Structure 1
Amino acid sequence: MHRIGGIILAAGGSTRMGTPKQILAPSGIPMICAAVQAAQTGGCDVVCVVTGHARAAVESAAATFHPLFVHNEAWQRGMGSSIRVGLAALPPVSAVILLACDQPAVDATVIRSLIEHHQRTGLPVVASHYAQTLGIPALFAQPCFDELKSLSDDRGAKSVIHSKPDRVAALEFPAGALDLDTPEDLHAWHCHKLQNLAPPC
């Protein structure tokens, strides 16, 4: 069995943004939709969206993509609780890719590259490398599932990534450094897009 599951962590309260960032559309479609589309077209066989705050709005925005929705009643406890809920909701898979919906540079190419790195290296963890750290989006093969399930409520997947560096392959993804937590981050993303669209001198 070589099925890949995608878990999109979309439960946060967006307190610093001031509005549910899951449904903001800095690239033309709601960020939750962009994340689901990236996972589905990037090679995930099943995609689970973990909701929390603004559940109804998130589910309504992404409904046309028909992901598996699962609600984390304890979303305020932290990311670890959402990871556990997502893993429990997935059917049997050989690996999962964890991604957030607030990294606007994540697309199908990034997801596909994580899978290809895993297949090429045989390593159980493939993590994105940006801003001098390793983080999500990241792929975890089945031998890592128990560690993910054992995360405390307030811990994210980064602790699993860094616990055993020799089992981790790094995927260079500089644009992953930008996640949209504040209105200033949103402005920075718009500036980034404008720079990329500018004609060469």
Structure 2
Amino acid sequence: MSSARIVGLIVAAGYSSRMGTFKPLLPLGGKTVIEVAVDSLRMAGVADIRIVVGYRSAELYPVLDQLQVDIIENPKYSQGMFSSVVAGLKTFAGDAEAFFLLPGDTPVIRRHSIKDVVREYRKTNAAVVYPVFNGERGHPPLINATCFDRILSGDGADGLRGILNEYEADSVDVPVADQGILLDMDTMEDFNQLTCFYLRRHIPTYDECLAILNKHQDDDRVLQHGHMVAEIGKSLASHLNCAGLSLSTELVYTGGLLHDLGKGKPNHPKRGERLLRCKGFSELSSIVASHMDMELKPECAIDEAALVFLADKLVQGTRRVSLSERFTPALDRFAGNREIIDAISRRKRTAEVIWNQAASILGMHLDEIVFSANNP
């Protein structure tokens, strides 16, 4: 994907009046908000990044000077965001083919969202391409040079939105599995929510998981099965954490939801792994890759991948089953095929190792956890 002629324009010139503190320099995961916004564009391949400053600009310069970005002063920042868009656009209108517009207070955008928007733009050459999550448009839209003159000649009465609405017939929406496109920070409550999202960004949220499945998997049974696997895995992880382990219940739950993402395709664990790795979820992709076939020796420690593997073997469709109930029919069915029998037996042994380790750590029979709820 080439984005050499696509500019990333970040506007950070406003008063932060609703927040009550200067938003661009708020701390976010060891960086500042403005640094995270730059990272969001740069990590997706946008090389030309420009930042419009105004209010308290002197405080931003020491940070921005380290980021290899172009800094644009907007002396009219008191007139609102549209004036900052115009100030920025004037610096590249004759050179760029399009630009991403990212408000500085919407800093956490997943890399794959930017790439998906660019891919759609290359395919359609639309006037505006909007990322969409759960049916709602978010940031950053990609605005084609078709709109530049109209923006530069606008009076700002209806803001940028009013101008872009004129191009609605030539605009397209791109569904993305990215809740961050909707998360801005007008209040401290918003900022706290954004911080939580950023700190766990390596794991998709529940709604993001649903968006991923909606895009790549059209079999409702996969989601129903995934829910059951996720619930069992999370319950086991929670109990084990109470016994002294440090497992990520979120990672286990998400792994359970998405473990069959590639179901119905050849080598579906590998397909699911690739899809998730491309979206930046490397830990999760490894869990999905090993959910069907892994080997855990008795001396190895239980991890999140092991719990998803076990939980998957304890669910047949949407029904909770014992390991014997899960494996015995398959062993009987393929009794004449040594290669298949060896594979099934290996999976059964691995599941039994995980089961026995967990039971030993907890000092209880796992049936009390796995079958604590009635089968659906």
* TM-score w.r.t. length of structure 2: 0.49
2:49 aligned with 1:44: no
Count of residues in Structure 1 that have an aligned counterpart in Structure 2: 201
| Larger RCO (CA under 8 A, 6+ residues apart) | 1
Is 1:158–2:161 an aligned residue pair?
yes
Distance change in 2, residues 1:155/1:64 (3 Å): farther
Counterpart AA for 2:119: E
- Over 3 Å counting, the alpha-carbon distance change for 1:113 and 1:62 in structure 2 is farther
What is the aligned counterpart of 1:146 among 124, 146, 149?
149
Partner of 2:212: none
Amino acid aligned to 1:100 = P
**In structure 1, what is the equivalent of residue 100 of structure 2?**
97
Task: Identify, as 1 or 2, the structure richer in strand.
Answer: 1
Matches within 5 A, 1:45-194: 45-90=47-92, 92-130=95-133, 132-153=135-156, 155-172=158-175, 173-192=178-197
Q: Name the amino acid aligned to 2:46.
A: C
Contact 2:139 2:182 in 1 (8 A): no
Tell me, yes or no, if structure 1 residue 29 matches structure 2 residue 31. yes
The amino acid across from 1:190 in the alignment is T
Q: Please state how far the C-alpha of 1:128 moved relative to its aligned partner.
A: 2.3
1-structure distance, mates of 2:67, 2:197: 27
| 1:130–1:139 CA distance, 2 compared to 1 (3 A) | same
8 Å CA contact 1:7, 1:47 repeated in 2 = yes
Greater Cα shift, 72-81 or 135-144: 135-144
Distance 1:169 1:72 in 2: 30
Tell me how far 1:54 sits from its aligned partner: 1.6
Q: Deviations over 1:46-99 (max 9, x none)?
A: 211000112022222122111110110110101111011001122611111111
Q: CA shift at 1:108, angstroms? A: 3.2
Equivalent residue letter for 1:96: F
Per-residue Cα deviation, 1:11-70 (whole angstroms, up to 9, x for no partner)? 111112121111112233111111222223323242110001120222221221111101
TM-score, length-normalised on structure 1? 0.87
Letter in 2 for 1:119: R
Contact 1:129-1:174 at 8 Å conserved across structures:
no
SS at match of 1:152: coil
- Identify which range, 188-197 or 53-62, moves more after superposition: 188-197
Query: How far does residue 130 in structure 1 lie from its aligned partner after superposition?
Result: 4.3
Q: 1:20 to 1:131 in 2, by over 3 A?
A: farther
Distance 1:174 1:121, change over 3 A: farther
Counterpart CA distance in 2 for 1:26 and 1:3 is 29
> SS in structure 1 opposite 2:141?
strand
* Cα deviation, residue 144, structure 1: 0.9
What percentage of aligned pairs have identical amino acids?
A: 27
Structure 2 Cα separation of the partners of residues 73 and 2 of structure 1: 29
Question: Structure 1 156/96 Cα, relative in aligned 2: closer, same or farther at 3 Å?
Answer: same
RMSD: 2.4
The answer to whether the 8 A contact 2:108-2:180 is kept is yes
CA distance in 1, matches of 2:180, 2:47: 25
Partners of 2:5 and 2:197 in 1: CA distance: 35
99-108 vs 63-72, greater mean Cα deviation = 99-108
CA radius of gyration, larger in: 2
